[in-house]
Structure 1
């Protein structure tokens, strides 16, 4: 089988899971594992063409020697790749997710790269605590839209961060009907179609992510863009990335 045909078969498998397979499970963790278990091996190749802005967000997060970095909803750990050589300067990086099948891929990646300062954790983003107790960086990469209590996850990140620590978020979203001055405005079709389209896979776009982040952190970077969708050449999905700083007095 050629590389191209193998890639196409992997894409078709992902598309079947996205469009046709019913998600089952009594808890959020069970639903995540049910959704991802059949597509974990092909997860990265498909989603790198779908999940835009990850590298740009990570590049804008400053790293100092010995920092603790927590990636909440880390999936297969591909975000760690975007750190490049900077990963070696971290004291510790935690890849946190509720889907064991995705963390298995992350563990294989860690072993293959020889990262002795990167650890996986099967845990809830709303309650996770590292052994160190605090962190210098917390990131969410296309995970907030899959966390039912996303506001609790952000509040947990705020509690985890040291004063002056950074949060980085990249995700799909829709703007509020009447966004604050200086923010992107979306028309009715964008605000209606995309939540329905993603919602069928339990990915819930929100107009409140960005305002909530801005109310809890000092905004350092905010970009609101649109990105290509595989096999839909004329379609662009709305996404944002945000980097913020925890106020020193909190």
Structure 2
């Protein structure tokens, strides 16, 4: 029963309650503050391939990992025992409500090397300066200057460092060889549907990533949306490396 109540509360925020505020941070907080407690359970059924993306990224011994747009920090759990191989993992987000959940998760798990940070993904720089891994898990579509965030991730990474991204997208009308074309209905329906919640799908994520990084793995997929049984939203998984300078 509690799960149903949380689902209804989350759906109300997704469908009926519009984000408000004059800054990106204020809009994020107004959107997530009322659904933070039920965030993980609902998103687990909506945000597909997150665990696979996290587990596909190599974990360097003693490395530094930055998860940009980390939300409640659930991605850290997907690392399993490998999290102990990191010297530090930073969970970066602008929503204080989601970060409270992340901090509670860190304390409950007893992680000494995981640090939630309230900061803009386009400007965050850890004390270490350069890092070994940067990830975006369904956060790039929520960053207004996503290309700036991607460029910033590139600047943070050491040569040979890894980037992992999973997110919603729509393909270009003519996506090119090797890519999955999306029909008119897909390209027309999903951007405004997600855009009402300030999630902005782009046909340019994948081309930009392929140009910026060496592609290790790219998969274009579709996944279920809770309570919409006959539709599948498109998403992609990208694992890449910063080329050696």
Band the TM-score falls in, shorter-chain normalisation: over 0.9
3-state SS, counterpart of residue 22 of structure 1: coil
Compute the RMSD of aligned alpha carbons: 0.5
Partner of 1:238: 234
Partner of 2:115: 119
Instruction: Give structure 1 regions of 4+ aligned residues with deviation exceeding 6 angstroms.
Output: none
- Counterparts of 1:89-104 in structure 2 under 5 Å? 89-104=85-100
User: Which deviations, in whole Å up to 9, do the C-alpha atoms of 1:24-69 show, x marking residues without a partner?
Assistant: 1000000000000000000000000000010111111011210100
Q: Give the CA deviation at 1:8.
A: 0.2
Partner of 1:6: 2
Partner of 1:211: 207
Query: Could you tell me the TM-score, scaled by structure 2's length?
Result: 0.99
3-state SS, counterpart of residue 239 of structure 1: strand
1:79 counterpart (75, 87, 90): 75
User: Which deviations, in whole Å up to 9, do the C-alpha atoms of 1:220-242 show, x marking residues without a partner?
Assistant: 00000000111111111100010
Q: Give the CA deviation at 1:121.
A: 0.7
3-state SS, counterpart of residue 91 of structure 1: strand
Distance, in Å, in 2 between the alignment partners of 1:134 and 1:22 is 37
- Counterparts of 1:1-250 in structure 2 under 5 Å? 5-249=1-245
3-state SS, counterpart of residue 174 of structure 1: coil
Q: Give the CA deviation at 1:23.
A: 1.1
Query: Could you tell me the TM-score, scaled by structure 1's length?
Result: 0.97
State the number of aligned residues: 245
**Which segments of 5 or more consecutive residues in structure 2 lack a partner in the other structure?**
none
3-state SS, counterpart of residue 51 of structure 2: helix
Distance, in Å, in 1 between the alignment partners of 2:162 and 2:19 is 34
Distance, in Å, in 2 between the alignment partners of 1:103 and 1:77 is 8
**Which segments of 5 or more consecutive residues in structure 1 lack a partner in the other structure?**
none
3-state SS, counterpart of residue 139 of structure 1: strand
User: Which deviations, in whole Å up to 9, do the C-alpha atoms of 1:154-187 show, x marking residues without a partner?
Assistant: 0000000000000000000000000021011000
3-state SS, counterpart of residue 140 of structure 1: strand
Q: Give the CA deviation at 1:123.
A: 0.3
Distance, in Å, in 2 between the alignment partners of 1:226 and 1:23 is 26
